[in-house]
Amino acid sequence: MSRESDCREDVRKLKQYADELERSLDNVQTLCGTDTWKGPKSERFRREFAGHKKQIKDAVANARAAIDRALKRVEKEEEEKKKSGAGK
């Protein structure tokens, strides 16, 4: 496998994990809703979780952007390597 194909496989896995994490966050929010959990502790949890969820979603978005930048960098390096190898 080339470096580019290895990177693409890593990107695929990382995006899959990010999707799973986002689904898990949504599931937790659904499970801790006011219909399933009542009382002061539930209210406190929902408030705190809302803040944590935003931080996690922001981190996932930043990770997705970093993944895309890394893949583009690897693609560019591989293309440059092909060009320099073709000229020899």
Residue 88 has pLDDT above 60, yes or no: no
CA dihedral 17, 18, 23, 24 (to 10 degrees): 70
Rounded to whole angstroms, how far apart are CA atoms 19 and 43? 27
pLDDT of residue 50: 93
Q: What's the gap between Cα 5 and its chain centre?
A: 19
Task: Give the global pTM.
Answer: 0.76
Q: What length is written for the chain?
A: 88
Rounded to whole angstroms, how far apart are CA atoms 19 and 32? 20
pLDDT of residue 86: 54
Rounded to whole angstroms, how far apart are CA atoms 50 and 44? 10
pLDDT of residue 1: 66
Residue 36 has pLDDT above 90, yes or no: no
